[in-house]
Amino acid sequence: MIRIAAVGDLHAGSDTADVLRDQLGEVSQKADVLLIAGDLTKSGEPEEAEALARELRDLSVQVVAVLGNHDHHADRPAEIAGLLREAGVVVLEGDAFRIDTPAGSLGVAGVKGFGGGFPGASGAEFGEPEMKAFIRHTKERSEALESALATLVTDVRIALLHYAPVRETLLGEPPEIFPFLGSYLLAEAVDRSGADLVIHGHAHRGTEHGVTPGGVNVRNVAQTVIRQAYAIYGFDVIGRTEPATAGRGSREGRGSRDVASAAPVSER
């Protein structure tokens, strides 16, 4: 079984080192990869990223992350990503990473994503330049996610986001702020390229379980939602055939991947 540990919204700072050390110490024995769904820091200051990097550096499991809005707050996202990469963390933004485990291959496509809302209550690329820029950013990041997912030819494919792709995993948050918590465009991108699971954070008061209109499971792993150090999701890859090569990877062709089901078979 491919085992995925996932958590979002660690919001690290100089005061969180001991907590994170306790929380993450045993993840290497429990999972093949640790996914972090953004908001790694409190306010995007490099010293906060350094504090987190010190805790992640010694983990023997591969860590894959996307940044969140908090990691952009000090306008130094490249420095934040650089500090994490120095500690061995793969930081994704519109690209993908492959991990080969004894139980099969795992691909992770990552983007931060952005807001805009959900059908019936969403913004449009119309009016003031600021509004057009807002929605355009969401469209661009959704297209980047779709492209990154399409490059993956692995037994299991994960979309790693910060913002939510569906309303369901926001339930518990005030509906008035849903447009600032995610966008349906991210779910459309996932459904077009295909994935086995979407991981996101950002909605601290949301709900863990959701599903895209196309049937891809969504999990909000904000630490305040999962109420534990990280959630574990497992995928059994049964009767696996050799994955198709990227060269013949039409969208239909990837249907030959023999993953047990779209649902993670074990959780927690």
Task: Give the binding site for Fe ion (CB under 5 A).
Answer: 9, 39, 68-69, 202
Nearer to Fe ion, 142 or 193 (CB): 142
Give me the least distance between CB of 123 and Fe ion, in Å please.
18
Give me the least distance between CB of 63 and Fe ion, in Å please.
18
Cβ–Cβ < 8 Å for 110, 95: yes
Nearer to Fe ion, 162 or 257 (CB): 162
DSSP string, 58-97: T-SSEEEEE--SGGGTTS-HHHHHHHHHHTT-EE-SSEEE
Nearer to Fe ion, 69 or 138 (CB): 69
Q: What are phi and psi of 153, to 5 degrees?
A: -125, 80
Give me the least distance between CB of 9 and Fe ion, in Å please.
4
Nearer to Fe ion, 32 or 48 (CB): 48
CA–CA distance, 186 with 210 (Å, rounded to integer) = 14
Nearer to Fe ion, 39 or 45 (CB): 39
Nearer to Fe ion, 81 or 99 (CB): 81
- Going by C-alpha positions, the residue among 248, 234, 17 that lies closest to residue 104 is 234
Give me the least distance between CB of 104 and Fe ion, in Å please.
31
Give me the least distance between CB of 257 and Fe ion, in Å please.
32
Contacts 24+ apart (CB under 8 A), 227-231: 228/268, 229/7, 229/23, 229/24, 229/27, 230/5, 230/6, 230/7, 230/23, 230/24, 230/27, 230/31, 230/34, 231/5, 231/6, 231/7, 231/267, 231/268
Give me the least distance between CB of 233 and Fe ion, in Å please.
20
Give me the least distance between CB of 113 and Fe ion, in Å please.
10
Query: Amino acid letter at 17?
Result: A
Nearer to Fe ion, 63 or 150 (CB): 63
Residue at shortest CB range from Fe ion: 39
Cα–Cα distances in angstroms (integers) from residue 260 to residues 82, 96, 107, 236, 237, in the given order: 37, 22, 16, 6, 6
